Structure 1
Amino acid sequence: MKPSPYTSSFKMHRSNTLLVFVSVVLSACNSSNVPLKPNVQITLVPAANPGGPVELDFIEGLANGAKPGQQIVLYARSGIWWIQPFANQPFTKIQPDSTWRNSTHLGTDYAAILVEPGFHPATKLTTLPAEGNGVVAIATATGKPVAPIVSKVIHFSGYDWRVRNAASDRGGQPNSYDPSNVWTDKNGYLHLRMEEHDGIWTCAEVSLTRSLGYGSYIFVVQDISHFGPSAALGLYTNDDFRPDDIRNELDIELSRWGIADNKNAQYVVQPFYIPENVSRFMAPAGVLTHMLRWESGRASFKTVRGSVIGPRTATVSEHVFTSGVPTPAKETAHMGLYSYRHSQSPSQQPVEVVIEKFEFLP
C-alpha cells in the first residue's frame, strides 16, 4: 500500500529532530571536554594611599579554574609595583573553594596574578607582566578612595622623622610596628621600644623625611648590653622606593642574630650574603658613637667610646669598604629596633634603646 503524504512527512520530521538532538548532545560533549580558561578576580579592594605603604589592609578574591599547585602573587602600586605582603612571602594560597585572602601594604592600585608552580616573581616592577611564561591570569583594581592617612612625625636632633606603623619583613620575618613605641624625652633623646601586646611583638622605627646623600651620618647610642639574642638595632641608609631588587643600603647593625655568644655588632654594605660586605665586631657596654662616612665609591665606618668623636676617643672598631658602595638616590637615614626570629627566643623580654643624638655632616 502506498504511504500517505502525512506518514512520509512525519518520518522526515522525526529524522530531522533526531539529527538535531544528536548534534546538540555531541556539541555538549565536545564543549565539556574543553577546559575553561582560568581567571582571577579581586573581590575585596583595599583603600587607596598615594603616599606609599603606611599600613596594612586585607585583599580578597577568587581564582576560578585554577589548577593544583597554582598560586596568587599580589602587588600594590606606590610609584612602582611592590610584591605583597612581604618579599620573603610572595605567594598567596588558593583555598579549596577557589577563594584567596592575604594582607597587603596600601597603594593606589592592586594586582592579583595567578601563576604556575615554580614561578619566580620579582619583588619590584615598573610594569606588570603579560600572560605567558608562568603567568596564567591577571586582575587589577584601583584602591578605594578614602581620607589620606597621616603618618606620625617626631622631631629629633633638628630633623623630622617619620614613625613607621606598617609591618616589615626586616630581620627575615614579619614584624609589626607600633608608633607608640617611639618618643622623645625631656632631654630630647629618642626612645625606641620593642614589647609584646596581646601576644604580638611590636617594634619601632623612624626614618628621615628627606634624603641627605653623601656625607657623615653620626649616631650616639646608649648602652645596648641588655639586648637579648633576638633584639636588633639598625642604623642605616636605604632607598625604600628603588625600582629594582638592588638594596641601596649601608648598615650599622647591633645584634647577636639569635646566637647568645655571637659578636653583637657589624658594618654592612648590602647585600650582606657577600662575605666581603660584612665586618663584624664586639661592641662594649656604655655609650657609643657610630659613624658612617659615605663618599663616592667609599663607605668608612667607625665606632668609638663615649658621645664625642675626637683625637683622644678610644676606637672600638673601624672598617672601610670600597666595593659595592651605592650612589645616592632617594635614600633616607633609618633607625629601627626590631626582632630577629623572635619565635625562636621564647624568653625574650621587652627591649628599649635610647639614641642621644643624630648628626649629619656634608
Structure 2
Amino acid sequence: MMSSMSMTRRVGTLKPTIIAYCLWVAIFTLLSGCTRSSSIIFLEVPPASSGGIGTSGLIRGKVLGRYRGRHIVLYAFADSRWWVQPFESAAHTEISEDGSWRAQIHLGSEYAAILSKEDSQPSQYLDALPTLGKTIDAIAVAGGGGIEIPTPDDPSHETTLRFSGLQWKVRTVPGDRASKTNEYSSDNVFVDDAGTLHMRLIRNSHGWVCSEVNSIRSFGYGTYTFNISDVAQLEPAVMFSAFTYFDRPLDGDHRELAIRLTRRGVASNTNAEFSIQPSFVPANFYHFNVPPGPLQLNMKWRADQGEFTISRDQIPLKQPLESWPFNTGMPIPNDTHVFINLCNYGYAPSPPTHDAEVVVKRFEFFP
C-alpha cells in the first residue's frame, strides 16, 4: 500500500514538469517557424541585354517564408551599375497574398530582387547590391534568361520614323515621364503628308497611352527649335515636353534641358515652364503663361548658360513671348538626344477627360 501511494506521488510530481516541457517545445517550434528566414526564387527572368529605356521584359518570382509588411525592390545590371526597376518613381513591387510578385522592367545582363521593409525611395542606381540587414530579409540574383537580345542602339528592332530630315525612335515600352508610369504606343505617333509630326494621348481600357519620340542622332551645344500647333486646348492634367536627355548617365546627370507646356494638374496654375536639372533646386525652374496660338520653342545651350525663349509662330508676329536664362549648373553634352513627349501629368488631382493631340511642324538644330 505504502509503495503504491509513494509511486502515485512520484508520478504526480512529474506531471507538471512534463506539461511545462511539452509547452516549451511547442512554443519553441512555433517561434522557430515564425522567425524562419525568407528567400526569393525567380519563376521567369527576361533575356540578357545591354539595357536602355527602349528595352522591356517580364520578371516574376515568389517569396518563400515571411513577407508581410515587405515589398520587392528590383534591379537590372547595365553599364557597370545596378539600376532600380522599373523606374525610380515606381521602385516598390508589391507581393501578392500567395507570395508571388511580377513586374515589367528594363533589361540588363543580370537581375536582382531584394525583399525589403524599407519605406523610403531607393536611389536610382547602386554600384553594388546591399547586404542582408535590419531592413533587408532576402536577396536573389539571376543572369538574363535565354539568348542575349540586341542593344537598343540597333535600329533593326526599333520602330522609327523620319521627321524634319532626321530619323526618330518611337517609344513602345512603358515609361515614367510626367511623374507617372504609363503605356506608350507607336499607334499614337505619325507623320502626315505635309511632313508634320502628330503626337497623341489616347485612353484605352487600361488607362492613358502616351506618345514619345527621340532622335537617333545625338546633339550638343547649340540652339534647339521646335515649331508646334496651338496647345491652348490641352487639359490641366496633360503635359507636352520637348527636352534633351542622356539615357545612361554613370554620374546621375541626364543632361536635361526642357520646355514643358502644362498646368501641372491644376487649372489655376501657369501653363508653361523652362527647366534644367536637378529638379530639387527651385532656381532650376521658371514658370509663366503663354497665350493661345502656334508657338516656337527655343533652347540655346552653351557651356556657361542656357537661354530659353518662347515666341509666337506667326509672321509678322514672331516676337518673343517669354525668355529666361539659366546662368549656373549647365550640363556638359554627352551622347545627348532630343525627346518629344505627350503624356498625362502624374501628380494631377484629376485625370484628363478626353484624348489630346499636339502637332509638331518642324524641329531644327543650329550648332
Pick the TM interval, shorter chain.
0.7 to 0.9
Aligned to 1:175: 182
The residue that corresponds to 1:61 in the other structure is: 61
Match of 2:6 in 1: none
Aligned: 1:111 with 2:118: no
- Equivalent residues in 2 for 1:112-151 (5 A)? 112-118=113-119, 120-132=121-133, 134-146=135-147, 148=150, 150-151=157-158
Rounded to whole Å, the distance in 1 between the matches of 2:62 and 2:124 is: 23
Answer whether contact 2:312 2:319 (CA < 8 A) is retained. yes
Residue 317 of structure 1 pairs with residue 322 of structure 2: yes
Identity %: 34
Residue 77 in structure 1 maps to residue 77 in structure 2: yes
Give the letter for the 2:334 counterpart. Answer: A
The residue that corresponds to 1:274 in the other structure is 281
1:47 aligns with 2:47: yes
Whole-Å separation in 2 of the counterparts to 1:118 and 1:106: 25
Contact 1:48-1:109 within 8 A present in 2 as well: yes
Assess if the C-alpha contact under 8 Å between 2:220 and 2:334 holds in 1.
Answer: yes
Does the aligned pair in 1 maintain the 2:40–2:139 contact within 8 Å?
A: yes
Determine the C-alpha separation between the residues in 1 that align with 2:160 and 2:210. Answer: 16
2:211 maps to a residue whose letter is A
2:15 aligned residue: none
Gaps of 5+ in 2: 1-20
Q: Output the CA distance in 1 between the equivalents of 2:318 and 2:65.
A: 68
Match of 2:13?
Answer: none
Name which of 204, 209, 216 aligns with 1:202.
Answer: 209
Q: Residues 95-150 of structure 1: CA distance to partner in whole angstroms, max 9, x if unpaired?
A: 34332222222333211012243465221234333444743332122222356481
1:349 alignment counterpart: 354
Q: Tell me the distance in 2 between the aligned counterparts of 1:86 and 1:47.
A: 19
SS of residue paired to 1:180: helix
1:162 maps to which residue?
169
Q: Distance in 2 between matches of 1:306 and 1:117?
A: 50
2:49 partner amino acid: N
Given residue 45 of structure 2, which amino acid in structure 1 is its aligned partner? V
Query: What are the within-5 Å matches in structure 2 for residues 6-17 of structure 1?
Result: none
Range with bigger deviation, 84-93 or 64-73: 64-73
- Distance verdict in 2 for CA 1:135–1:222, change over 3 Å: same
What residue ranges of structure 1 are gaps of 5+ in the alignment?
1-21
More deviation, 115-124/255-264: 115-124
Name the counterpart of 1:38: 38
Farther-moved stretch of structure 1 (57-66 vs 318-327): 57-66
Name the SS of the counterpart of 1:171 in structure 2: helix
| Residue 360 (structure 2) pairs with residue 336 (structure 1) | no
Aligned to 1:284: 291
Task: Give yes or no for contact 2:171–2:213 (8 Å, CA) kept in 1.
Answer: yes
Q: Are 1:219 and 2:219 matched, yes or no?
A: no
CA distance in 2, matches of 1:323, 1:336: 26
SS at match of 2:287: strand
SS at 2:283's partner residue? helix
2:279 maps to a residue whose letter is: F
TM-score by length of structure 2 reads: 0.82
RMSD: 2.8
Report the TM-score, using the length of structure 1 for normalisation: 0.83
Shift of 1:166: 1.3
Q: Residues 175 and 201 of structure 1 are in contact (CA less than 8 Å); yes or no, is this contact kept in structure 2?
A: yes
CA distance in 2, matches of 1:358, 1:307: 16
The CA deviation at 1:193 is: 0.7
Corresponding position: 1:304 with 2:311 = yes
Q: Relative to structure 1, is the Cα distance of residues 33 and 134 closer, same or farther in structure 2, using a 3 angstrom cutoff?
A: closer
Shift of 1:171: 1.5
| 1:253-273 deviations in Å (ceiling 9; x for gaps) | 001111123221110112334
Confirm or deny that 1:236 pairs with 2:237: no
